Structure 1
Amino acid sequence: MKLRQLKYFVATAETAQVSKAASALSISQSSVTTAIKDLEASLGAKLFQRTQQGMDLTDAGREFLASAYVILGKLEDAKNLRHRDTDSSGTIRIAASYTVMGYFLPYHLDRLRRLHPNLDIQLHELNRDSIEEGLLSDRFDVAVMLTSNITNARLESETLLRSTRRVWVASGHRFAQRRSIGFDEIADEELILLTVDEAANTAMKYWSYQAAKPRVSLRTSSIEAVRSMVANGQGITILSDMVYRPWSLEGKRIATVLPGSQVPTMDVGLAWRRGTTFSPQMDMIYAYFHKTFNSPFSA
């Protein structure tokens, strides 16, 4: 396995197209294609499904993407050892929503604390309404939240990551081997709705555009409950790749399939009060995330 293969794989996973990955990396499309084929051969697993829309990650591909991020992140950390900012200090007040706190932020907090060891990062976990109010009342400097849920026009935001939503089913489910499932078929199944971070409200919005109506069997704020119930064959759900894990707590496997009609992505990013003059500490946070998510591959 070569480092360039990891870089080409991550770039393809993030852009979902070989042509875009090649353009971002300033290399030929054939180089990207060859690297991915060699990587799949060395791993003994198919990482992408080739579709008309582009390159769609398989379950194995999504698992490997997490590992690739860790490897590339560690390499970047090693490169940055001589760039550690030990002179800058001060306090930054960061608010985050539940999903972001649990499935996105910890990795980046670790890297930020390595890069800026004297920066005091104060964290606050809240729901969207409380985060928006806190930003406007100057209780928080910046938020890391689901930017796709922001409603207040007095806030500015920048989306860092768009996480695809897929249908989750038990590994033995009749949908498990399908490439996509229509909403009319999904409506025949018992649907488990996650309520945290307004997930249920989002689901009802995209369901409102469908002729079929969902058969909701349970609403819960527990992602682990959803994971276990789906793995046990007690229903299906539609959730984002960011919170996906292939195994339930009982060790049962979960498969994912694309919905036949497009559903909105779950967007994660930064938010702050419109017109705010950034402090040096806010600049550090913004610069870190901007660099991390606006390169040909994220690490």
Structure 2
Amino acid sequence: MPVSLRQIRYFVSTAEHGQISQAAAELGISQSAVTTAIKDLEQTVGLDLFVRSTHGMEMTTAGRQFLFHAYEILNKVDEATNLLLPAGDFAGQLTVAASYTVIGYFLPNHLGRLRRAWPNLDIQLFELNREAIEEGLLSNRYDMAVLLTSNVINSDLATETLMSSRRRLWVPARHRLLSQGSVGLKEIAEEPYIMLTVDEAAHTALRYWSNTSYRPNVTLRTSSVEAVRSLVADGQGVAILSDMVLRPWSLEGKRIETIVPTEPIPSMDVGLAWRRGAQFTPAMEAFRSYFHQTFFLPSHR
């Protein structure tokens, strides 16, 4: 029996959620449909991809290996169904500034697609923090930026949000908070907290914590997302981070679960920025039009 894209999508959703019920809810289908698809997929592959337990669906070693290939397949299908035609003989140079999180978790796939769409578009990329990006845009050192638009406050810059990434609580597998009906900042404050500092993450976190009478019990501050991932998965603490940087396993192969806090947590918004009133060059227009097509004309701010 050939493997279908439907089976792969159901498998990936189950792997990411760790629960048949949550995967079914995300996909908008019945739990039995997900269960059947995974059983059929395992029969075709000839290996168990999950271990079923009272805690949910835990991936086997074969399951983790299959997930790597599943992501590749879905990415290739996405590229094939969202083709951009090269713009003839268009050529130009574009200087683009980007922040750490954007370069690590957002831009790489888009840069590859941009280069295939406009092979003569020379993109010069620079990694900087927000303050340096804003100053560089205003002084014309950079044409455009891709950054966390939710952090931009300079009114001399125009921004355009491409995507909003929800923030959730990260906890290790089988954490006690997973069995509670609701989890708010009060309960989170009772746990050791790993505070990410890169891209003003700590400043953003303290903004929403300051709206309550609770404070996180910070045991470590780090600029490394991978350090947070490993520490949380190992049971050393919890963290609130965005879905954009979420990977449900640490480098050591330990699982991370997520919980939506009861309090409203602001999303992490990613998008474009440029100097307000700047005259768009053809290179800037090409760069912007790619993201418009990819994200279906996102809202302006």
TM-score (norm 1): 0.77
Q: Which has the larger radius of gyration?
A: 2
Q: Structure 1 pair 187/84, CA: closer, same or farther in 2 (3 Å)? A: same
Between 1:187-196 and 1:67-76, the stretch displaced more is 67-76
Matched, 1:235 2:230: no
CA RMSD of aligned residues (A): 3.0
The residue number in structure 2 matching 1:15 is none
Give distance in 2, aligned partners of 1:200 and 1:145: 16
Unaligned runs of 5+ in 2: 14-26, 41-56, 60-66
> What is the percent sequence identity of the aligned residues?
52
Give distance in 2, aligned partners of 1:145 and 1:120: 20
Residue pair 1:59, 1:256 contacting (<8 A) in 2 also: no
Give distance in 1, aligned partners of 2:162 and 2:35: 28
Matched, 1:144 2:146: yes
TM-score (norm 2): 0.77
Q: What is the Cα deviation at residue 76 of structure 1?
A: 2.7
- From 227, 233, 236, the counterpart of 1:225: 227
Q: What is the Cα deviation at residue 260 of structure 1?
A: 1.1
Q: What is the Cα deviation at residue 2 of structure 1?
A: 5.5
- From 253, 260, 275, the counterpart of 1:258: 260
Unaligned runs of 5+ in 1: 11-31, 46-57
The residue number in structure 2 matching 1:164 is 166
Q: What is the Cα deviation at residue 72 of structure 1?
A: 3.7
The residue number in structure 2 matching 1:292 is 294
Give distance in 2, aligned partners of 1:162 and 1:179: 26
The residue number in structure 2 matching 1:42 is 37
Q: Structure 1 pair 172/132, CA: closer, same or farther in 2 (3 Å)? A: same
C-alpha distance after superposition, 1:5-52 (max 9, x if no partner) = 97xx99xxxxxxxxxxxxxxxxxxxxx84599856742469xxxxxxx
The residue number in structure 1 matching 2:96 is 94
The residue number in structure 2 matching 1:75 is 80
Residue pair 1:86, 1:117 contacting (<8 A) in 2 also: no
Matching of residues 86-235 of structure 1 within 5 Å: 86-178=88-180, 180-235=182-237
C-alpha distance after superposition, 1:198-248 (max 9, x if no partner) = 000000000001122221111111111111111111110000000011111
Give distance in 2, aligned partners of 1:174 and 1:231: 14
Residue pair 1:100, 1:146 contacting (<8 A) in 2 also: yes
C-alpha distance after superposition, 1:248-296 (max 9, x if no partner) = 1111111111111110000000000000110000000000001111179
Q: Structure 1 pair 109/37, CA: closer, same or farther in 2 (3 Å)? A: farther
Q: What is the Cα deviation at residue 179 of structure 1?
A: 6.2
Matching of residues 274-289 of structure 1 within 5 Å: 274-289=276-291
Q: Structure 1 pair 282/35, CA: closer, same or farther in 2 (3 Å)? A: farther
Give distance in 1, aligned partners of 2:58 and 2:128: 31
Give the aligned residue type for 1:219.
R
Residue pair 1:170, 1:176 contacting (<8 A) in 2 also: no
Give the aligned residue type for 2:218.
V
The residue number in structure 1 matching 2:270 is 268
Residue pair 1:191, 1:236 contacting (<8 A) in 2 also: yes
Give distance in 2, aligned partners of 1:36 and 1:280: 49
Give distance in 1, aligned partners of 2:143 and 2:191: 44
Q: What is the Cα deviation at residue 74 of structure 1?
A: 2.5
**Matched residues, number:** 255
Give distance in 2, aligned partners of 1:68 and 1:177: 34
Give distance in 1, aligned partners of 2:35 and 2:159: 37
Q: Structure 1 pair 249/279, CA: closer, same or farther in 2 (3 Å)? A: same
Q: Structure 1 pair 206/42, CA: closer, same or farther in 2 (3 Å)? A: same
Give distance in 2, aligned partners of 1:141 and 1:233: 43
